[in-house]
Amino acid sequence: MSTLSDRRAFLRRGVGLAAFGLAVPTVLSACSDDDSDTATTSTGSAATAGPADYGDISFRLSYTQGVAFAGTYIAVSDGLYGKQGFGDVTLIPGGPSATPSPTDVGTGKAFLGVASTPDQVAAARLNNGAKVKIVGALYQKNSYAITSLTSAPISRPADMVGRKIGVQAVNTTVWEAFLAAAGIDADDVTAVPVQYDPTPLTTGEVDGWFSYVTNEPITLAAKGHQVTTMLLADNGYPLVAQVYIAQDSSISDKRDELKAALKAEISGWVTQATTPSRGVDLTLQTYAKDAGLNKDVVTKVADVQNGLILTAGTKTAGLLTVSDALVDTNIRTLAASGYEIDAADLFDLSLLDEIYQESPELISGLPAVPAS
């Protein structure tokens, strides 16, 4: 297999130079700061000042409205999409009952979107024929974690042996793949079917809880529980997460438009990385203002999220980038989970290569951001 760098060069030649919060049951157009009570607003006249007139755009979120999309909120509310030539930005929320992000992007309901993890995209491409690829990854590590009480900590996979772990049905596939990758026999751990409220962990019904590091550990700590978290990404399951996806045809035929949208997203996330309070305020005051979220909790989520986004690699190569080595690691992890797919069929990171060649200033402020 050729290196990813070779594949990126080939793709460039071939195309001619791609949390949590309030559940929202309907499609909403994004709100600006000064008109937060309306469902549909324009990003303003800034669109006419952009390099092109791409018209309106629909963007598919991976889950319900929350600080997980803080950079996108900034990109919309601060007119960054407008500066790239777009008009109204419609955010399509996900959620437990929503169609998968690759479906909405693959069918054209959304021009650009975010899927939680690469396995969703691989499954859509391999099993359903979805013509979508990953064009970037916000989280360099997925947020899956095993949370335990510090009084009886689970800090490494071997600590799970002989213990009970609460696992939600939707996470069973990931759980089983993680056990295999970590070298733990499934018969040596008791997986207890649970829902989403981690109370059974605090009452001793289970010893560990399948979690998102950006969710349950923070909410439990806010209630006074001392917890320990073990990231799956550091223990045999190193997938990236919050992956940006686009149609194959958009990558080849609407390349400039797709790059413009990604530039808006990158710019929004640069602001969030350097000024996390900006996205926290937008989440609480505009996008999830009716969810009754706690500001301290949301602020902590934003901080933990920054730790998944900002690494030595992204500080030097740019946000959303994925190194060749990390791509190959993801492909091997997917294969171990039953998704046999070549990197070139799942990833196209050549758009990011071009974006950062054209706009290196998008990286300049990141090295100074302190580690979380």
Flag the least confident range among 92-96, 217-221, 343-347, 365-369.
365-369
Flag the least confident range among 33-47, 175-189, 268-282.
33-47
- Tell me what pLDDT residue 41 has: 33
Task: Answer whether residue 221 shows pLDDT above 70.
Answer: yes
Task: Answer whether residue 269 shows pLDDT above 70.
Answer: yes
Quick: pLDDT tens for 57-66: 999 999 999 9
Flag the least confident range among 18-22, 110-114, 198-202, 239-243.
18-22
Quick: pLDDT tens for 137-149: 999 999 999 999 9
Task: Answer whether residue 93 shows pLDDT above 90.
Answer: yes
Q: Write out the chain in H/E/C secondary structure.
A: CCCHHHHHHHHHHHHCCCCCEECCCCCEECCCHHHCCCCCCCCCHHHHHCCCCCEEEEEECCCCEEHHHHHHHHHHHCCHHHHCCEEEEEEECCCCCCCCHHHHHHCCCCCEEEECCHHHHHHHHHHHCCCEEEEEEEECCCCEEEEEECCCCCCCHHHHCCCEEEEEHHHHHHHHHHHHHHCCCHHHCEEEEECCCCHHHHCCCCCEEEEECCCHHHHHHHCCCCEEEEEHHHCCCCCCEEEEEEEHHHHHHCHHHHHHHHHHHHHHHHHHHHCHHHHHHHHHHHHCCCCCCCHHHHHHHHHHHHHHHCCHHHHHHCCCCCCHHHHHHHHHHHHHCCCCCCHHHHECCHHHHHHHHHCCHHHHCCCCCCCC
Task: Answer whether residue 23 shows pLDDT above 50.
Answer: no
> Average pLDDT in the 35-45 region?
34
> Average pLDDT in the 82-99 region?
95
Task: Answer whether residue 236 shows pLDDT above 90.
Answer: yes
Size (the chain), residues: 372
- Tell me what pLDDT residue 17 has: 27
> Average pLDDT in the 188-202 region?
97
- Tell me what pLDDT residue 33 has: 38
Flag the least confident range among 216-220, 346-350, 367-371.
367-371
> How many whole angstroms separate alpha carbon 333 and alpha carbon 3?
17
Q: In what order do the strands lie in the sheet with 190-194?
A: 190-194, 164-168, 208-212, 144-149, 227-231
Task: Answer whether residue 7 shows pLDDT above 80.
Answer: no
- Tell me what pLDDT residue 371 has: 64
pLDDT-derived band at 51 (thresholds 50, 70, 90) equals: low
- Tell me what pLDDT residue 337 has: 87
Task: Answer whether residue 46 shows pLDDT above 90.
Answer: no
